[in-house]
Structure formats: C-alpha cells, structure tokens
Amino acid sequence: MRTLISTAFISLDGVVEAPGGEPGYRNAGWTFKDVEFLPEAFEIKGREQKEATAILLGRVSYQAFSPVWPDMEEFADYKTMPKYVVSTTLTDADLVSNWGETTILRSIDQVAALKETDGGPIIVHGSASLNHSLSDAGLIDRYHLLVFPLLLGAGKRLFSTTDKDTQKLKLVEHAAYANGLQKQVFDVVH
C-alpha cells in the first residue's frame, strides 16, 4: 500500500489558506511577508519532491498550482511526476498540457484504490477540503507541517471538524528555527 502524505504550511491556529498570496483571502501571502525566510526551514520541501512518486490535489489547488508550478524551477521534480486531481466537475479539457500526466479521480473511493496500487508515496499539497475528506476516510498516513508563528483567525483549515473518534499521531521528526517556524512530521497511528 502506498503512503499518503499531507503537506502544509499552517498557522499556529490551523489556517492553511492562501500561504503563497492566492487572491481573495485577507491575509494572503502570510508565509513570505510576515516571517523571515530561512532556507534551512524549507529543507523538507525539497525532500518531498525527491521522495514522492505522485501528487494528489483537489480541484481548487490544481487550478491554483497548474498555471504556475510547471514553469517554476523550485518545483521541477514535480513536472514529470504523475498527478491525480479529485474533482466531480473538471474534465480532461480543463487540464494543462505542460505538467505531465494528470488523471481525474471522481471520488474518495478512487483515492483509496490508488493507495492500493504499487508505487511510492503520494503527496497532497494544499487542498483543504480534500484533506478533510481524506482524513475522515482514514486515508492520510503522514503529515508534514511547517507551522508558522502566526494567528490568522478566519480561513480554511487543514483539519476536519467532523465529530469522530480520536485519531492518534506519532511525532517522528521535528525542528524549531530561529524565525519561529516549526517543522512537525507526524505518522498517523492506524
């Protein structure tokens, strides 16, 4: 079974919305305008590209990333990696042609079937709503979190608010950086 990894830039109060400056959110761009950049704090982002073998995205994140990530040098390893987009509305005509093989999945059941295939880790970037559904279905195996020392208040959150049984996490890697960022890597205890 493949490992499904959710990776996120997250504020201390759990917000993941518009970290790179996506329009429509009051605090958009909070990862680079409010916290000093330290390259060592972002080492995990490069490692993710080397270790992942596929990307899983929700429709909204796909539509935000696909116009820009294919041409960004810092995401070069993702260009040829297979991509999967969970959407009930996208069609093949909506997919960009310069970002490698992309498959549309129509349900969380199809994501569960993808996890059962041979291959290495699948990484989920952004995709707050998709993360909620994946977590509620028990499909996330690991969280890679870069926690920013900010309280953003309103905004999309990474974690589901569904009333469910406690889900235990095991801290497997952590670090704190001079700019206040914290790296937290948790395995989900299934």
**Tell me: the pLDDT tens digits for 112-164?**
999 999 999 999 999 999 999 999 999 999 999 999 999 999 999 999 999 99
* Average pLDDT of the residues of the chain: 96
Residue 71 and residue 59: Cα distance in Å, rounded?
19
Write the pLDDT tens digit of every residue in 22-59.
Answer: 889 999 999 999 899 999 999 999 999 999 999 999 99
Write the pLDDT tens digit of every residue in 71-108.
Answer: 999 899 999 999 999 999 999 999 999 999 999 999 99
Say yes or no to pLDDT of 176 above 90: yes
pLDDT, position 1: 93
- 142 close to 187: Cβ distance less than 8 angstroms: yes
* Among the listed residues 174, 104, 115, 113, the one whose alpha carbon sits nearest the alpha carbon of residue 143: 174
* Among the listed residues 134, 135, 81, 128, the one whose alpha carbon sits nearest the alpha carbon of residue 111: 134
Please report, in angstroms and rounded to a whole number, the separation of the first and last CA atoms in the chain: 13
Rounded percentage of the chain residues whose pLDDT exceeds 70: 100
